[in-house]
Amino acid sequence: MTFRKKDTHVPAQAAPATLEQLVRWRRDVRRFKTDPVPDDIIQRLLRLADLAPSVGNSQPWRILNVKDAGIRAAIAKSFEAERRKSAEVYKDDKASLYNKLKLAGFDTAPVHLAIFCDRDAAQGHGLGRQTMPETLDSSCACMVTTLWLAAREAGLGLGWVSIVDPSAVTTMLGVPKNWKFIGYLLLGWPEEEHLDPELERHGWQARTPFESRYSELGSAERGPSQHPQHVAAKGAVALVGAGPGDPDLLTIKALRALQSADAVLFDDLVAKPILDFIRPGAKLIDVGKRGYRKSCKQPDINTEMIRLARDGLKVVRLKSGDPLIFGRAGEEIEACQQAGVPIDVIPGVTSAQGAAANLKVALTNRDHARRLQFITAHDRRGHLPADIDWGAVADTAATTVVYMPKRTLAELTEIAIAHGLDPNTPAIAVANATRPDQQVFISSVGAIAAALSAANPDGPVLIMIGEALRYADAANATEQASAMAAALGALPAST
């Protein structure tokens, strides 16, 4: 999950990435692509890092770009030896987990940088070093931090290798004796992106709350006190339904949440005009999840949501439609509750309601449909779920709404017909319900899969099945889409 995806649309107000977004975009990269980094980019990043602050303007860092394959291999061998030695400290499950946390970057990262501190640096004439000589090392750390941020902004990742023998590395690289080894850095294009550190993601160490590391001593009004006072964060999460797309379907409570939010984590399916209602200055974080495409991982989203709330922010988790209907709301609610983060849920108009309203058709009907059921057409693997109640789908007294059916619709209708559903039962596919580019396909259960496949519409699709749908008005839906397109400055697709 990143804030700077080149292939993902991000609203103009969310880009370029802010400093906070760069900081949250994880620094501890362990897996890299082998693609080379152009020399001009490396030079630009190193020159930016060289502008880092240092005590007394000492600039004590010395950067060695290690290009020799033999030396790289020797340092990697040293790392592996030290890693095995470190593993002996841990026992049982901790030892097993430690052995799984292997750094793969030595073989793939295109750039290797060894960082040293010149303890005899003449720059600055020793200013600040007389009382705290260790600040030379701190200055080098400032340089590495600047390099990391510059790398992140360029889309690169930085890995800091700490499990090596400093004396062995110093000898291998043949640097002056007065240079103190600070760290070995791997630089390259990340193979994967995460908002949470790998050690946290795999259960090595959970991140502790900010309040455990921050305290205040006294106050301006009362003078100094004897004990530091911890300041508790008061952040919270609101799980908000954005509706199917038409901004006018946003609820008043959802609007209030958007206009008071400090940070908004929004899904890819949220209609872009709705993002315009977010309070100016709020942090916008695209955590888009799309079926069958590379997307954010749910644990990453949970982690970021909780972290922002623990920092004292009002966080909105914005989802298309109603988050309580096939929106994985349960996982996010549980994550917040386990973390002790307050969470509120603001439901939204689900796409089935929006689509039916546009078509001027009731989903229930005293003569034809006394039951309404929502089902999903794909499971965790993207396949048709194995536990669908096919007898219920074939029930002539029910209206069935199928969410996320694009890839499995042909299989779904074939099985439903085999279980007794009349192939002539009305079926309507709606793509981008209630949006300017809404498309409506009125057909039958036996023919809807072929019709949808031939049209291959882009965007989210749902299927409505049942006798109550015989009264649908496709012309009215097209007129509504045209009116909305005129209001929003977009042209509707043909239906």
d(CA 395, CA 226): 73
CA distances from 9 to 23, 270, 283 (A): 21, 12, 16
Task: Give me the phi and psi of 387, to 5 degrees please.
Answer: -105, 20
Name every residue whose Cβ is closer than 8 Å to that of residue 310 and which is 6 or more positions away in sequence: 209, 210, 233, 235, 339, 341
Give 484's contacts (C-beta < 8 A, 6+ positions apart): 246, 434, 435, 436, 492
Q: Is 11 helix (H, G, I), strand (E, B) or coil?
A: coil
392 contacts 369 by C-beta, under 8 angstroms: no
DSSP assigned state of 213 = G
Structure tokens at 348: 């939204």
Nearest by Cα to 432 from 318, 264, 273:
273
Q: Which of 1, 143, 404, 484 is catalytic?
A: 404
Question: Do strands 398-403 and 371-376 pair parallel, antiparallel, or not at all (unpaired)?
Answer: parallel
* Side-chain half-sphere CA neighbours of 142 within 13 A: 16
Reported as type and span, the H/E element at residue 239 is: strand 236-241
Please list, in sequence order, all residues whose beta carbon lies within 8 angstroms of the beta carbon of residue 481, skipping any fewer than 6 positions away: 358, 435, 436, 437, 438, 492, 495
Q: Which regions in the chain score pLDDT beneath 50?
A: 1-15, 292-293, 484, 488, 490-495
Helix H or strand E segment including 298: helix 298-310
Sequence length of the chain is 495
First to last CA, the chain: 35
Relative orientation angle of helices 351-359 and 474-488, to the nearest 10 degrees:
110
Evaluated on CA atoms 317, 320, 322, 326, the torsion sign reads negative
- φ, ψ at 455 (rounded to 5°): -80, -35
Tell me: the pLDDT tens digits for 424-480? Answer: 999 999 999 999 999 999 999 999 999 999 999 988 999 999 998 887 766 565 565
Residue 267: active-site member: yes
Q: Is 315 in a helix, a strand, or coil?
A: strand
Determine the Cα–Cα distance for residues 400 and 402; give it in Å rounded to an integer.
6
Residues of the chain with CATH 3.40.1010.10: 236-349
Return d(Cα 288, Cα 270) in angstroms, integer. Answer: 9
In the prediction, which pLDDT does 15 show? 47
Where would I find the beta strands (DSSP E) of 129-229? 157-161, 179-188
Q: Which of 5, 253, 289, 360 is catalytic?
A: 289
Q: Which of 196, 246, 267, 286 is catalytic?
A: 267
Class of domain 236-349: alpha beta
Domain with CATH 3.30.950.10 in the chain: 352-488
Which segments of 283-339 are extended strands (E)? 283-286, 314-319
The boundaries of every CATH 3.40.109.10 domain in the chain are 27-192
By the 10 Å C-beta count (0-12 exposed, 13-18 middle, 19+ buried), 141 is classed as middle
- Give pairs for 414-418: CB < 8 Å, separation 24+: 415/384, 415/388, 415/390, 416/390, 416/445, 416/465, 417/445, 417/446
Residue from 367, 356, 421 nearest 389 by CA:
421
Q: CATH says 352-488 is which class?
A: alpha beta
Put residue 432 in one of left, alpha, beta given phi > 0 → left and psi -120 to 50 → alpha.
left
Q: Does domain 27-192 have CATH number 3.40.109.10?
A: yes
Whether the CB-CB separation of 120 and 133 falls below 8 Å is answered with no
The whole-model pTM stands at: 0.55
* Residue 196: predicted pLDDT: 62
Q: Are 442 and 474 in contact (CB under 8 A)?
A: yes
Whether 404 is catalytic is yes
From CA 38, how far away is CA 340, in angstroms rounded? 46
